[in-house]
Structure 1
Amino acid sequence: MAIYFAEIDESSRVVRVVSIPAVQVSRAQEYLSSDLGLGGNWIETFPDGSVRERFASVGMLYHADTDQFISAQPFSSWTLDASGVWQAPVACPGDTSEYSWNEDLQKWEAL
């Protein structure tokens, strides 16, 4: 069984995700940094999202305060809610149409 770890850079961004043998999990930092020569700061990530809310992927951010991986902020006006999901300043209409966010106008536009 493989165990997954995400490498986090100095800005808490995920730069890569690797799997290691389960027998190495008790010494994962040492295994990744020294044995494999990868260096870095490694955080375990789980494919089912059972820990840290979601499986890490390159470009995501790790929030130590909430111990979760989140996607990068899609627009500067969006805020992060307690569950680690970015929310627009205006709720998306709930109909069946498709919408995209217009950051300049701060509104949803139908496609």
Structure 2
Amino acid sequence: MKILMATDCNYIAPVVGIAKLHAKTQSEPVYLYRISLDAGLNFLKRSNSGFDHIPGACHADDLGCLFQIPLESLNMHGGEKELKAIRRFVKLWTNFLEKEACRVLIN
């Protein structure tokens, strides 16, 4: 794992470590995803957190792709890049839920 920012030590390293631990100790699959979208939907970066000058995604930035958030109130904006990201992210989650639900029903 390549550490790019000090916050990687606070978030990424522990999350990956816990996911690996769960995978070793649980009989059910463990899923982990990474979002690196840098767009107008970045929730935390656009909420006056002081992170808007740092490239990449922050904790909770996936919320802008999954839930309808009043963009204007958070200084967020949407365009073609954001619409494409929303479609891809919703498709990813929908496919995961459909396949996981089928796996659970079959077993």
TM (norm. structure 2) is 0.24
From the two aligned structures, give the one with the greater strand fraction: 1
Larger Rg: 1
Higher relative contact order (CA 8 A, sep 6+): 2
Structure having the higher helix fraction is: 2
